[in-house]
């Protein structure tokens, strides 16, 4: 049987890194005066990184939901778990939207230079801000409550 408590932490960290790196690459493209939808190595690497982060976020949400159910079954308080899950789902939703717009613009060769590119980057930053909030709450779950790493305290 798969131990969700061991898989979930591994799956969660990949999208975090990929989103941070992808948005950082978007920034570099824009600072250089580029177009996020260009078919250049840097712009495409930013796109692929964000797409991979989004796929990882979907996997993290699936395993996170399983981990939440396991934690509740073990007696951990449901409210902080649901707050973290809500932030995670919001992060995933924001990056799904960013990925969809980014991929569509790249595919159809719709320019994402200038204001449009900076708007895409700003939307990515909003996603990163929600991601950081979700990660902070996730850290509290583990290090303050001991969710799925310690016994429930009566």
Residue 4 has a pLDDT of 56
Residue 31 has a pLDDT of 98
Domain ranges of the chain: 4-143
Quote the CA–CA distance of 98 and 121 in Å, as a whole number: 9
Tokens of 103: 């991929």
Quote the CA–CA distance of 120 and 137 in Å, as a whole number: 26
pLDDT digits over 80-132, tens only?
999 999 999 999 999 999 999 999 999 999 999 999 999 999 999 999 999 99
What pTM value is reported for the model? Answer: 0.89
Report the range of poorest mean pLDDT among 4-8, 126-130, 137-141: 4-8
DSSP string of 14-45?
A: HHHHHHHHHHHHHHHHHHTT-BTTS-SHHHHH
Quote the CA–CA distance of 68 and 89 in Å, as a whole number: 13
Residue 145 has a pLDDT of 87
């Amino acid at each position: 049987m798969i131990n969700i408590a061991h898989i979930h932490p591994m799956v969660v960290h990949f999208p975090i890194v990929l989103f941070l790196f992808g948005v950082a690459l978007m920034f570099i493209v824009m600072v250089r005066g580029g177009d996020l939808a260009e078919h250049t190595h840097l712009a495409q690497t930013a796109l692929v990184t964000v797409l991979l982060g989004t796929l990882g976020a979907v996997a993290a949400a699936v395993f996170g939901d399983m981990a939440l159910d396991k934690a509740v079954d073990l007696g951990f308080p449901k409210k902080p778990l649901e707050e973290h899950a809500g932030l995670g789902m919001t992060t995933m939703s924001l990056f799904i939207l960013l990925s969809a717009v980014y991929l569509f613009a790249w595919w159809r060769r719709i320019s994402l230079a200038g204001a449009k590119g900076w708007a895409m980057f700003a939307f990515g930053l909003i996603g990163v801000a929600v991601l950081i909030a979700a990660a902070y709450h996730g850290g509290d779950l583990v290090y303050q409550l001991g969710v799925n790493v310690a016994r429930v305290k009566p």
